[in-house]
Every structure is written in C-alpha cells, then in structure tokens.
Amino acid sequence: METWFFILLIAVSISLILKAFFNLFSPPKKLTHTLPPGPSTFPIIGNFLWLRKSFFEIEPILRNLRKKYGSMVTLYIGPRPSIFVSDHSLAHQALVQSGSLFSDRPKALPTSKIMSSNQHNISSAPYGPNWRVLRRNLTSEILHPSRIKSYSHARKWVLDILFDVLQSKAKTGEPVQVLTHFQYVMFCLLVLMCFGDKLSQEQIKKIEDVVRRGLLGLERFNILNFWPKVTKVLLRKRWQEFFQRRKDQEDVLIPLIRARKKAKEEKLSDKKSDDYVLAYVDTLLDLELPEEKRKLTEGEIFSLASEFLNAGTDTTSTALQWVMANLVKYPHIQDKLFLEIKGVVGDGEEIKEDDLQKMPYLKAVILEGLRRHPPGHFVLPHCVTEDTVLGDYLVPKNGTINFMVAEMGWDPKVWEDPMAFKPERFMRNEQVFDITGSREIKMMPFGVGRRICPGFGLALLHLEYFVANLIWKFEWKAMDGDEISLEEKQEFTVVMKTPLMAHISPRKEIRS
Ligand code: HEM
C-alpha cells in the first residue's frame, strides 16, 4: 500500500515542480530576512522522506549540517519548514529574553490532534489562556513543593517494593536487568499521584502495560499525517490500529477517572471524609477552560492524565538508568558518592528525603547524568506567535523551531572534555547550578523559559531519592568481563542500546 502512496506522491511532486518553474517568472516577493540555510529538498518527496525519520535519526545529519551552515539550520519536514538551533545564546535570546514570542506550539498533526484532544493538554496547547490555566493547575495543585512532600509515603512504599525485588536478586547472585524495575517504580509513583493512592500493584501493572504499549513505536503512525485524506483510504488498517491503541488506553483509564469523580462527589456530600489524598485527576474535574468557558470533557481529562504519565515516567526512569550505568562503569564515582551518603546518614538504615539537601555530590552526579545523557535530545517543537527574526534569520509563524538539547550539553566551547562523565564539574562553583537557564544557558535537559518542564523539581527529587537509596543499600558492579556500553537508541526517550545489567551485593553484608 505504501508503494501506491509513493507513486501518487511522485505525480503530485512533478506537478508542483512545474508550478514552481512557472512561478519563477512571477515577480519575486520582498523579504528582508531569509530562513536559516539548509540542504535543498526535492519538493513533497523530500518532505515526506524527512517525515518518516525520527528526530533521533535526524540528529547526526544535523550535526554535519551545523558544520556547513552554522548553528541555525532549516529542514523541510512534512508540510512546514523546521528550524533547528544548536547555539546556547540564541536559545537564551529566543526562549528566555523573547519568551512571549517563542512559546507557542505548532498546529498539531492529525494523529497528535487526536491524542491531545485537539491540543487540550499542556504540552501541545497553543500559548494562551487555556495553556496557562492547565499549566498553573498542575504546578500549583500537584507539583507545588508542599504537595510533593505529601506524597512521600508513596515514594517510601515504592522504594520498599524495589528493594524487595533487588534483595531477592542479590541473594541468588543473578545479575539484575534494572530498566524494567526502574520503569515500574516511576510508573507506580506517577499513577498514585494521578489517580490516588488506593490502587493495587496489579492495577498499576495493567495501566503501565496499556500506556507503554501506546507510547512505543509511535513513529509507525507518522506517515498517516502526510495527506490524511489519502492515507485514510490507502492506509486504513494503520489508522484502525492507531484508534485501537487509544481505545485500549481509554478502556483502562476512563473507569479510574469516573471512580475519582464518584469519590469526590461522596466526599462533598460528606458520605465519606476519610484520608482522601488529592490526585491530579481530582483537580481536573471542575477546572474551567477560559477560552471556551466550559469544564473539561472526559476525553480531555483522559488526555491530560495520559500526558502526566507519559511525561513523568519514561523520562525519569531513563535518566535513572543512565546515572546508575555511569556509577557501575566508574566505581570511584560510586565510592565517592557512598562516602558522602555515609557522612550524612551515619549508620542509619534509610535515607530520609530531608537528608538529600545535605548531599552536594549526589546533586552533581544527577546533573552530570542529565547533561551527558539527556532523556530527550530535543525540546518539544516550539513556534512563534508572529514572524520574527533570530540571529539574523527569519523564523516564520508557519514553521517550527527546535532546540538541540544534547548538542548544547556536549558543546566543547562550554564544557571541558564534554563526553566524559565528571560530576566534579558541578562542584567547582560556590553557587548552585541554575538548571532553569534564566541567566545563561549551559545545558537545558528540561528546556528553559515559559515552556520549561513543570515537572523538573519532581524529577530531580525522584532521581536523587532513588540513586542515593540504591547506592546506600547495594554495591553495584559490572558483570565479569562486561564493558558498560553507552551506546544510545531511541524509544520514547533516548535509552541505553544495551540495557544495564549489574551484579549487586547488599552493603550491610559488605560492612559487617
Ligand atoms: C528527567 C525527567 C524529565 C525530563 C528530562 C523532562 C524534560 C522535558 C522537556 C525537555 C520538555 C519540553 C520543554 C519545551 O518544550 O521547551 C518537557 C515538557 C513537559 N514536561 Fe517534562 N521532563 C521530565 C519529567 C517530567 C515530569 C516528572 C513531569 C510531570 C509530572 C513532566 C511534565 C511535563 C509537561 C506537562 C511538559 C509540557 C510543558 C509545556 O508545554 O508547558 N516532565 N519536559
């Protein structure tokens, strides 16, 4: 079927080339600034071929193009020009200094439009009143430090689950493949924050299965966005598969939303007023959209809940795996971290959340992990609210502008020996490293400016809490004769191509 689609594209391309040829004779449009340079593309077919690639596949191409064209490059991906920026100071100019111009999101492609309930979630909502209300609800109701603190019992519960699994592996001496465990614990935490703390492990597993299945292999559906009227006929089966994925998720998540609605009503009518811990879904039930002056629909609440799970789980478990991989690869860094923890905890059994504030080296290890292995190599695509100039080039309203996160963290002009894992680089300065990039950008694993990841505080807490406890409880070693490979591949995030396998031994036994 794709072959027919391709032939059709060639036919349309030829007619467009002819049109472009005739346009040569019409008077040129007057433009004071031009788009940033980039490789010329064969109309339509070129756009289509770019569209089939993931950003991860495009990244090495962009790295080469940067050498030729500089730190702003244009590619024609799909129907719009896409500008890529790899320069720190241009990113600061755009996202921080001109934040109100550069914080819009592009019009969603058809599949994303369906997934986001027509851009009624935080990450894809246009810059405006609806986005502001949705984002403020998340940050003030759920991600506020005092609310985050109120979920500490959930973190302890999940940590104990993780310890039980690792303890049994340590006893048998078999190596542990940690990623699935990390993914599961992050999932538990976010599910409890999203739907309340009364869910069983079986329910959480079911949610994880269906949400993860929906997330992986999404690039398969990119092609549907190219000329949807045609793909709806020619690629009918793939569209069906796409809708089925969403339905599978709705079947699991919508009953949970309805249960929270019922619980809230019961609480209001005072039938039940027991230990009711506020969950993200509860805050959405009565929220009003200012642009449409109405409450959210069930479908929109579903999209926001899915976004919360997708945004906060794989990103953090990926970062956790990268950090642990480096601690296994470099035992001297692991030892140094262990000694710092010992200095704070003494002979205590567990690390309390307040203890984390006293561990600067731990923070440096996490920051170095995020610099060297950012889970997302690009921020989400941005667009401008009006035609704008950046770095002497035009950034048009009908295009997208993308910022290259990994490139900035690996820039030798900013970071000495950038590909090495050296947490000490974050210890040299008296001041705490500013991850929000408000004064200057050195790296931006969470983005910067008005669209900065609202979950960065929660993510850093989760990373610090789990890394510290995992190192305090166990010694982590590479398997005999096994090199820890830092090769990458793209899943939803940029993960380890060869997932981390390690031998673990309880520290208690080592100490006694
Ligand atoms: C290590 C973990 C994480 C990383 C590396 C990360 C990274 C990012 C990045 C790069 C963006 C895009 C910024 C932009 O477009 O300019 C983003 C947006 C977002 N993230 Fe995160 N994130 C993480 C964890 C979380 C968590 C835990 C949550 C929620 C609980 C979350 C919720 C969101 C949301 C809702 C957005 C959209 C913001 C907007 O468009 O206004 N993220 N994140």
206 alpha carbon to ligand 1 midpoint, in Å? 24
447 alpha carbon to ligand 1 midpoint, in Å? 8
Number of neighbours of residue 247 by Cβ within 10 angstroms: 9
The β-bridge partners of 357 are none
What are 455-504's pLDDT values in tens digits?
A: 999 999 999 999 999 999 999 999 877 789 999 998 889 999 999 999 99
Nearest ligand 1 atom to the CA of 193 is: 30
Q: Are 382 and 402 in contact (CB under 8 A)?
A: yes
Q: Are 375 and 315 in contact (CB under 8 A)?
A: yes
Sign of CA dihedral 299, 304, 309, 311: positive
CA distance 375 to 492: 9
Mean pLDDT of 342-371: 94
pLDDT at 241 over 50: yes
Find the range with the poorest average confidence among 206-220, 255-269, 361-375, 430-444. 206-220
Find the range with the poorest average confidence among 62-71, 86-95, 194-203. 194-203
pLDDT at 448 over 80: yes
CA distance 374 to 407: 10
213 alpha carbon to ligand 1 midpoint, in Å? 20
What are the extents of the domains in the chain?
A: 30-506
Percent of the chain with pLDDT over 70: 89
* Predicted local confidence at residue 173, as pLDDT: 85
190 alpha carbon to ligand 1 midpoint, in Å? 13
449 alpha carbon to ligand 1 midpoint, in Å? 12
Residue nearest ligand 1's atom 38 by CA: 123
Question: Is residue 402 within 6 Å of ligand 1 at its C-beta?
Answer: no
Mean pLDDT of 71-98: 93
311 alpha carbon to ligand 1 midpoint, in Å? 6
Residue nearest ligand 1's atom 43 by CA: 453
* Predicted local confidence at residue 29, as pLDDT: 46
Band (39; pLDDT cuts 50, 70, 90): confident
Q: Are 322 and 178 in contact (CB under 8 A)?
A: no
Tell the residue number behind the tokens 């991906």, with chain if given.
77
CA distance 302 to 67: 44
Question: Is residue 399 within 6 Å of ligand 1 at its C-beta?
Answer: no
* Bigger pLDDT: 215 vs 135: 135
The β-bridge partners of 75 are 82
226 alpha carbon to ligand 1 midpoint, in Å? 27
What are 101-153's pLDDT values in tens digits?
A: 999 999 998 999 999 999 999 999 999 999 999 999 999 999 999 999 999 99
What are 161-182's pLDDT values in tens digits?
A: 999 999 998 888 888 999 999 9
* Predicted local confidence at residue 5, as pLDDT: 58
Beta strands in 222-361 (DSSP E): 288-289, 294-295
Residue nearest ligand 1's atom 41 by CA: 451
Residue nearest ligand 1's atom 1 by CA: 316
pLDDT at 333 over 80: yes
| Predicted TM-score (pTM) of this structure | 0.91
For the chain, helix, strand, coil in percent to 5 are 55, 10, 35
pLDDT at 272 over 70: no
Mutate to test the pocket of ligand 1, among 85, 182, 453 (most ligand atoms within 8 A of CB): 453
Question: Is residue 454 within 6 Å of ligand 1 at its C-beta?
Answer: yes
Band (24; pLDDT cuts 50, 70, 90): very low
Find the range with the poorest average confidence among 52-66, 185-199, 356-370. 52-66
54 alpha carbon to ligand 1 midpoint, in Å? 19
User: Which CATH number applies to 30-506?
Assistant: 1.10.630.10
Nearest ligand 1 atom to the CA of 378 is: 10
Mean pLDDT of 380-407: 96
Residue 453 assigned to a binding site: yes
User: What are the tokens at 447?
Assistant: 């983005």
Question: Is residue 379 within 6 Å of ligand 1 at its C-beta?
Answer: yes
pLDDT at 48 over 90: no
Question: Is residue 459 within 6 Å of ligand 1 at its C-beta?
Answer: yes
Question: Is residue 493 within 6 Å of ligand 1 at its C-beta?
Answer: no
Band (16; pLDDT cuts 50, 70, 90): low
pLDDT at 11 over 90: no
Question: Is residue 380 within 6 Å of ligand 1 at its C-beta?
Answer: yes
Find the range with the poorest average confidence among 48-52, 176-180, 442-446. 48-52
